[in-house]
Amino acid sequence: MLDIDNIFEKIKLDGHRLTKIRKAMIGILFADKCLLSASEIRTRLSVSGLSADRTTVYRELGFLLEKNIIKEIRIADRKTYYEIVSPEHHHHLVCTKCNSVQEIVMGNHLKRQEDRIYKKARFKVLAHSLEFYGLCRNCR
Ligand SMILES: [Zn+2]
Ligand SMILES: [Zn+2]
């Protein structure tokens, strides 16, 4: 199970500082787990009484990406989002009308497909990104 204290521990063990902002940002991303934009993260920081400028937020996001604690997801031509790398791998259902995003967990079909890719093309898949676009329950 992915635990927020494990993340803090890992950062310290790697010899990095656990600053207030860094800790708060991990907390925000961990609480939500799915798709947050940089500006949403900034808003949440200020709600909890921490003000961080854009540069600081992007620098911290860069650090967390580099440490493989979060991943970056670009949804079509829209914004870039960030989420915690979680052991429960999920995909996104994006509504093209109201822009809402839902999470979906999809068995192991994709894992099998990746094994086939390896057999057929000798290509070792390390990661994938998959979003489904359509109309949500409310917009259908
Ligand atoms: Zn997600
Ligand atoms: Zn919708």
Q: DSSP letters of 99-129?
A: --EEEE--TTHHHHHHHHHHHHH--------
- 55 and 69 in a single domain? The answer is yes
- Measured CA to CA in angstroms, residue 51 lies from 30, 45, 81, 87 at distances of 19, 6, 20, 31
Residue 92: strand, helix, or coil? strand
- 81 and 14 in a single domain? The answer is yes
The predicted structure's pLDDT at residue 126: 82
CATH code of the domain containing 60: 1.10.10.10
- 139 and 82 in a single domain? The answer is no
CA distance 65 to 83: 10
- 76 and 35 in a single domain? The answer is yes
Q: Which ligand is nearest to the CA of 91?
A: 1
Q: What's the pLDDT band for 124 if we cut at 50, 70, 90? A: very high
Q: How far is the CA of 41 from the centre of ligand 1 (A)?
A: 15
Determine the structural domain holding residue 129 and report its residue range: 89-140
Single pTM value for the model:
0.78
- 4 and 72 in a single domain? The answer is yes
Q: What's the pLDDT band for 122 if we cut at 50, 70, 90? A: very high
**Dihedral angle, C-alpha 130, 133, 136, 140, nearest 10 °:** -150
The predicted structure's pLDDT at residue 121: 96
Whether the pLDDT of residue 1 is over 50: the answer is no
- 73 and 107 in a single domain? The answer is no
- 79 and 113 in a single domain? The answer is no
The predicted structure's pLDDT at residue 2: 66
The predicted structure's pLDDT at residue 99: 83
Q: Which ligand is nearest to the CA of 84?
A: 1
pLDDT digits (tens, 9 = 90+) for 39-95: 999 999 999 999 889 999 999 999 999 999 999 988 876 789 999 987 778 889 999
Asked if residues 75 and 94 have their Cβ atoms less than 8 Å apart, the reply is yes
- 102 and 78 in a single domain? The answer is no
Domain count, the chain: 2
pLDDT digits (tens, 9 = 90+) for 11-38: 999 999 999 999 999 999 998 878 899 9
Q: How far is the CA of 140 from the centre of ligand 2 (A)?
A: 7
- 49 and 79 in a single domain? The answer is yes
What contacts 18, CB < 8 A, 6 or more positions away? Answer: 8, 11, 12
Q: Which ligand is nearest to the CA of 96?
A: 2
